[in-house]
């Protein structure tokens, strides 16, 4: 690890050189600045994508209960009330009967039936499939939670990156502005030509344009964070000067890959998807097996016909068996269909595995390189400051022109902005590496949150900005009915 003095030289210089711009741009926050951990917890509570994933998970869990219900006793009751009009034109022999054949009467019937599945392979396989679908959805939920954490962390540090770049651009504009004023004064007394004034003016206009772009970018970054949490933050904590920019631990890239294969929720969800598809094949094959049900029923009937008295009732208890002999090829086609789906899910799992391995290796390499990059960017600030001092000295004695000075000014502040970006690249890439390995969670965010120093980065929306609270209001959640 590099010496402490080298590690924070760039940051100390940047903050000392940019202090006037920081003071001019600071806006007093009405409340204490929010830190990364607070905003991450807000997102876990109110992020729309995560809330949707949680509702989907509860829906899949309820689907298991739907499938299990077919294996439990089923009890039905039905009844009828009828009014009957009967007309007869046949003659009735008086020796056997008397009275008219016409009749009007009311009837009532009641049927109570209970069934219990004794053997139903298809329904049993469907319950197994729903259990595996729950496992898959839980992994998807975990993946969504990790994605929310990395999105919030990235948005948070992108704000800080944009702010530090804006500081550099403001300081650059002020420095070149002073150089422009000096050039004008020298031209008025005849020390330099008008071309040098025009060169300084062009450099100042370019610096001003870069400052406007950086200011707009800061606003966009704040709004991106608001989208993730549904809340507006006027101020957030900044990243401290002393952060441990070291190589990732463990230091072996293959160990990170092994962690990902064990913990990455997207890999585990794809693997669970293979088991879901395998259950689909088992369900299709179960269509060739018999079903056995126990049943019991009771029937009661009564009417008010004049020629009849009393009521009728009957009951049954038994076992029913149903065996499919030929279904027009449906069962065989269903088996083929689900077999192909199983094959597709296996390829999907392999694709996800390869993609994760590649992502882990790439981000491990990036984080390792970021350590050296931050060190190099810090040294670049020192070198560009020395070059600027030397160029200014040469300009004063007439060996360098104003274009050389302006270029040196721009190089210095570009180095300051690049150093800031390199630090945030390291932090974001480190968190992304943890996400790809499946180890990104609230404690990991809390560890990075300890790197913040409590200094507030503020942003105030324009006075005519419209609130989006009405747009984001989805109303009360639906009431569940048992």
Higher pLDDT, 6 or 320: 320
Tell me the three state secondary structure of residue 8: coil
Strands 291-303 and 311-322: antiparallel
pLDDT at 386 over 70: yes
Residue 314: inside a domain, yes or no? no
- Cβ burial, residue 294 (10 Å; 0-12/13-18/19+): middle
Does 301 map to a domain? no
Q: Is the pLDDT of residue 203 over 60?
A: yes
Query: Which residues contact residue 70 at a Cβ distance below 8 angstroms, ignoring those fewer than 6 apart?
Result: 117, 120, 123, 126
Query: What's the pLDDT score for residue 339?
Result: 96
Per-residue pLDDT reduced to its tens digit, 265-282: 999 999 999 999 999 999
* Mean predicted lDDT score pLDDT of the chain: 85
Residue-level pLDDT at 97: 52
**Checking phi first, is residue 256 left (phi over 0); if not, alpha (psi -120 to 50) or beta?**
alpha
Encoding tokens for residue 480?
Answer: 């569940």
Q: Which residue has the higher pLDDT, 210 or 462?
A: 210
The confidence score (pLDDT) of residue 53 equals 95
Q: Would you tell me how many other CB atoms lie within 10 Å of the CB of residue 345?
A: 20
Query: Which pLDDT score is estimated for 96?
Result: 52
Q: What is the pLDDT of residue 209?
A: 94
DSSP H helices in 230-319? 253-263, 265-286
What is the per-residue pLDDT for 369? 96
- Of the pLDDT bands very low, low, confident and very high (cuts 50, 70, 90), residue 90 is low
pLDDT for position 304: 78
Total of domains in the chain:
1
Instruction: List pLDDT tens digits, range 66-88.
Output: 999 999 999 999 999 998 887 77
Answer whether residue 28 shows pLDDT above 80. no
Q: Is the pLDDT of residue 468 over 70?
A: no
Q: Kindly state whether residue 112 falls inside one of the protein's structural domains.
A: no
467 pLDDT exceeds 90? no
What CATH number is attached to the domain comprising 57? 1.20.1600.10
Task: State pTM to two decimals.
Answer: 0.81
- For residue range 334-362, list pLDDT tens digits in order: 999 999 999 999 999 999 999 999 999 99
Domain that holds residue 242: 4-73+120-290+328-458
What was the pLDDT predicted at 27?
34
d(CA 166, CA 18): 10
Q: Is residue 299 part of a domain?
A: no
| Mean pLDDT of the 234-246 span | 90
Residue 21 has pLDDT above 80, yes or no: no
The answer to whether 82 touches 105, Cβ cutoff 8 Å, is no
Indicate whether 441 belongs to any domain.
Answer: yes
Is 184 part of a structural domain of the chain? yes
Predicted confidence at residue 91, as pLDDT, reads 60
Q: Judge whether 105 lies within some domain.
A: no
Q: What is the pLDDT of residue 87?
A: 77
What average pLDDT does this structure show over 96-120?
80
pLDDT value of position 26: 35
- Tell me if 322 is assigned to some domain: no
CA distance 114 to 74: 6
Q: For residue 291, is it left (φ>0), alpha (ψ between -120 and 50) or beta?
A: beta
User: pLDDT category, 466, cuts 50, 70, 90?
Assistant: very low
**Residue-level pLDDT at 479:** 60
Residues comprising the chain, all counted: 482
């Amino acid at each position: 690890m590099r010496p402490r003095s080298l590690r924070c030289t760039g940051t100390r210089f940047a903050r000392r050189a940019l202090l006037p711009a920081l003071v001019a741009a600071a806006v007093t926050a009405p409340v204490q600045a929010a830190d990364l951990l607070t905003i991450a917890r807000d997102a876990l509570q109110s992020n729309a994508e995560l809330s949707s994933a949680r509702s989907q998970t509860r829906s899949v869990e309820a689907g298991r209960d739907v499938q299990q219900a077919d294996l439990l006793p089923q009890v039905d009751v039905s009844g009828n009330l009828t009014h009957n009009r009967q007309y007869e034109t046949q003659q009735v022999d008086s020796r056997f009967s008397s009275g008219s054949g016409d009749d009007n009467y009311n009837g009532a019937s009641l049927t109570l039936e209970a069934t219990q599945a004794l053997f139903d392979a298809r329904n049993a396989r469907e319950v197994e499939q729903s259990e595996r679908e729950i496992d898959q959805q839980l992994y998807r939920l975990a993946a969504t939670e990790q994605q929310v954490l990395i999105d919030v962390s990235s948005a948070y540090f992108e704000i800080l990156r944009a702010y530090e770049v804006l500081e550099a651009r403001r300081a650059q504009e002020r420095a070149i502005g002073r150089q422009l004023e000096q050039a004008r004064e020298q031209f008025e007394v005849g020390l330099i030509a008008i071309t040098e004034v025009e060169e300084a003016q062009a450099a100042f206009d370019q610096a001003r344009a870069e400052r406007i772009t950086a200011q707009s970018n800061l606003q966009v970054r704040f709004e991106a964070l608001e989208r993730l949490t549904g809340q507006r933050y006027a101020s957030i904590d900044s990243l401290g000067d002393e952060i441990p920019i070291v190589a990732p631990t463990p230091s072996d890239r293959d160990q990170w890959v092994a962690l990902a294969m064990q913990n990455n929720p997207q890999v585990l969800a794809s693997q669970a998807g293979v088991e879901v598809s395998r259950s689909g094949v088992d369900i299709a094959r179960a269509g060739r097996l018999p079903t056995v049900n126990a049943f019991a029923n009771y029937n009661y009937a009564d009417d008010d016909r004049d020629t009849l008295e009393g009521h009728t009732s009957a009951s049954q208890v038994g076992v029913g068996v149903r065996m499919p002999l030929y279904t027009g090829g449906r069962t065989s086609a269903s088996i083929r269909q689900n077999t192909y789906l199983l094959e597709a899910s296996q390829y999907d799992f392999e694709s996800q595995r390869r993609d994760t391995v590649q992502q882990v290796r790439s981000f491990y390499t990036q984080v390792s390189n970021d350590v050296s990059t931050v060190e190099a960017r810090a040294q670049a600030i020192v070198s560009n400051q020395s070059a600027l001092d030397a160029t200014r000295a040469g300009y004063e004695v007439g060996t360098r022109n104003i274009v050389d000075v302006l270029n040196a000014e721009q190089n210095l502040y570009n180095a300051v902005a690049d150093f800031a970006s390199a630090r945030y690249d390291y932090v974001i890439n480190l968190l992304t590496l943890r996400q790809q390995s499946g180890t990104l969670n609230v404690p990991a965010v809390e560890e990075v949150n300890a790197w913040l120093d409590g200094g507030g980065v503020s942003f105030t929306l324009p006075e005519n900005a419209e609130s989006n609270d009405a747009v984001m209001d989805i109303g009360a959640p639906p009431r569940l009915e048992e």
